[in-house]
Amino acid sequence: MFNPRARLSLHPLFGPHCVVILDDALAEPERWVERASLHAQAFVASPHNAYPGIELTMPDAIVERFKHLYEASIASHLAGERVLQCHARLALVTKRSSELGPPQWICHRDRLFVPPDQCVAACVTYLFHDPQLGGTSFFQPKVDAQTINQLVHDSGALPAPDFAARYGIDPGYMRQSNAWFSHLSTIPPRFNRMIFYDGGIFHSSDIPNDTLLSADPSRGRLTLNAFFTCRRRTAAGSSSSTVAAHRAF
């Protein structure tokens, strides 16, 4: 499934946080696009999250391979080590800016409610060639945590006009800094590029041209995503080894 010659690099964000990038990550990336196209009718919108598109859940065998890859090659660079739970999906961003609700106008965190001794890591694999379909942007709050938590809550509780008026946030995909968040960095997409990051860091799909979005996996913003609930590493257990990471594929 994974390419033994994948190239690992680290992209710093802030403090100890970074994005782990694997280029040429999958051994046969075109087969994933073919698989998605074959099962295009099985993609559905998820009722459990605010993802602005449609998804196809991956089987347990794929999940297990992601779990092994994370623990063997990625964990040393992020806060979470042993994987407690994992799931994976193919996904397509399909909503135009005019179709988004307030929770999708702002950056977000993945699976926020975990105990203090756990954390969440996320993975996105870009399975499209057109860079105008967009990469992934990362953000940092400009204001205190209580204010940000209220903003996030209100995005799901207030009618769209009320949310826009209260916070001065316009409808559409978030791509730049605003009064509440500073834009840190955008990882540009590249076909068969896989990125891993701490899901507790605010992030958003960077969509420069929503007219290119499509439900056709051969033309749209197709990604292979994985999410890992992990035991948080203690300071004593912290380590990093790029050599080990390369060998683990």
- Under 8 Å CB-to-CB from 36, ≥6 apart: which residues? 43, 56, 90, 92, 127, 217, 222
Could you give the maximum distance between any two Cα atoms of the chain, in Å?
Answer: 52
Q: What is the pLDDT of residues 181-229, one digit of tens each?
A: 999 999 999 999 999 999 999 999 999 999 999 999 999 999 999 999 9
Flag whether 103 is in a domain: yes
- Under 8 Å CB-to-CB from 79, ≥6 apart: which residues? 16, 119, 121, 198, 230, 232, 233
Flag whether 197 is in a domain: yes
Output the pTM of the full model. 0.91
| Number of domains, the chain | 1
Flag whether 242 is in a domain: no
Flag whether 239 is in a domain: no
Q: Strands 193-198 and 118-126: what pairing?
A: antiparallel
Q: Which domain holds residue 194?
A: 7-226
Q: What is the pLDDT of residues 16-64, one digit of tens each?
A: 999 999 999 999 999 999 999 999 999 999 878 889 999 999 999 999 9
> Measured at the alpha carbon of residue 20, what is the angle toward residues 17 and 24, in degrees to the nearest 5?
170
48-57, 120-129, 145-154, 157-166: range with lowest mean pLDDT: 48-57
Count of C-beta atoms within a 10 Å radius of residue 92:
25
Cβ proximity of 195 and 187 under 8 Å: yes
Q: What is the CATH number of the domain that holds 119?
A: 2.60.120
Flag whether 231 is in a domain: no
